[in-house]
Structure 1
Amino acid sequence: MSDELRLDGQVAIVTGAGGGLGAAHAVLLAERGARVLVNDLGTPGVAGDGDPGAAERVAAGIRAAGGQALADTHSVATVDGAAAIVDHALQEWGQVDVVLNNAGIFGRGAFSPPEVYDAVLSTHLMGTVNVLRAVWPHFLERGYGRVVNTASSSFLGTPGSGDYAAAKGGVIGLSRVLATDNRDRDIAINVLMPVAHTRMTAAAPDPVYTDWLQRWFAPEKVAAFALLLCHRSVPVSGETFLVGAGRASRVLFATTRGHFEDDPSPESFRDHFAEVMAGHDLQTPTSGQGDLIRYAELLGDPGPFAPAVPG
């Protein structure tokens, strides 16, 4: 196809790529011309058995198919480990164009033991921070980068997923702020909420649910959209997408007009609670300041938003 999305000459780092979603991402990126650093720690997480040879098997499979890939087994959960991942790619290929943060481990709920919480946050949230911290000077120097961070729809309220969901919510917040901070650069940061049958979802206690995922939610169907987010032509930054089973959908964080008055009291909010909850006049702020424009309109005082809000 003449209009095929290609990444020829580019270098991609994919964390947690020893199987499942990460492997699907790595394989497709390599098929489309990228040189891929396949990162996977390969040791047991909070739950489940480790596989120290996973990264090398994925990398070897890519090479056998004619692609370029190397395995890396450093941990994203430490600053030094994440720096070593980025250094590995730079030393081998001299550049990094794409970072796809996918590394993750199981959680155990909203009030899991402190050591479990630490491990979940260290892998999902701080792992994302650590890798991006290490690669960011390179992105800034080159004036280019593509980042895809992995969150989860558990953030929206999946029962029993408190520690995991908390970490994934942090990934979303971090990604949106980075996108805003770098809106004048050719560095795009977006978020995936993937739905796929993987080793982690296969461990769910409901066999009907896991069988349904296995029938319809192949990781490769998520990778197809992820590659678009990794491409030079990606048209957005700071967005979150729910992706699975061949569907990609934008996730919106919206505010309503709510109830407003000059001199509120607890009782007035109680008496107008239906207005607080009403879904009319939805707006989708693109940053933490986005909804302040609505306040300026309600107050009749544009303040620092004079260009957007007539006085």
Structure 2
Amino acid sequence: MKATTKSPTPAHESAPARRESKKPTGRRVAPYVFMAPAMILFIGVMALPIIYAAYLSFRSVKVSGLGLGSGARTEVWAGLSNYARVFADPEFLSSVWRVLMYGLIVVPTMLGLALLFALLLDSKRSRATGFSRLAIFLPYAVPAVISSLLWGFLYLPAVSPFYYIAEKLGVNAPELLSNDWVMFAIANIAVWGGTGFNMIVIYTSLRAIPSELYEAARLDGANEKQIAWRVKIPIVIPSLIMTFVFSLIATSQVFAEPTTLRPLSNAISTTWSPLMKVYRDAFVRDDLYSAAAMSIVIALVTFVVSFGFLRLTQNRAFNQEN
């Protein structure tokens, strides 16, 4: 009986397999090394403070006697009592109502102007688009505190050139820092500073539209207004939704503008917005536990509203099958 021997695998066939199965350790570790600084910053600056705030929201201080001496003030478990105080606080509810009214003014106005400017810049008849983009976007680069100070002095009748011109023309200009107009004054600062960013987002989407769509619409007899209304706006709806969510989040976090204007007007209280009340309770009244619960409530409401709006508009704006 003839014995059969198995020929060895050629060296040129097994070498690539060995090279593919044994990747260098550095190539496997390199992505995690590059991600490590960002992850450390995220954990240290975002995740840990949120976890600590959530922990403080379930705690409170128990005072024994007069609250003097060591051991007179001890931290105890409070359960949901801090959250119950938040929802029963009339100052917090009033600040939420003011921010809702503020958002109804800011968000539609800002997005409407951003869409209008983007459409005008994308028009074939537009001139000096580079300068116009820079001029519209430039207010976004100004910090909120600086822009609030700038507009604050323009709102003061004693130093504002607007009131001086109105007086010379015999026009009775309203006091923008009074109780009746202060919300519009704060909203104007937000619109002035945020329109440029939203305009850039929408304008970038407009520039990505293929020119063939415009040519086909013109062959069908559509003019520039019809192209803008029936072609451009429907295509940039995802960008409008994204800018709306960003604007919604920014509106719920309004803080710098009313805080900066508060020394200039008696119409702005220390609890004008929810974040201003959080700041006052935490750093003026030294009530960290109630402030932590309030901040968690603000964060959860902002997340739920933003996520719910995205879920609501996803099928209408992003689902191409329906």
Relative contact order, higher structure (CA 8 A, sep 6+): 2
Q: Relative to total residues, which structure has the larger helix share, 1 or 2?
A: 2
TM-score bin (small chain) = under 0.3
Which TM-score applies when normalising by structure 2? 0.21
Which TM-score applies when normalising by structure 1? 0.22
Give the greater-gyration-radius structure (CA).
2
Q: Relative to total residues, which structure has the larger strand share, 1 or 2?
A: 1
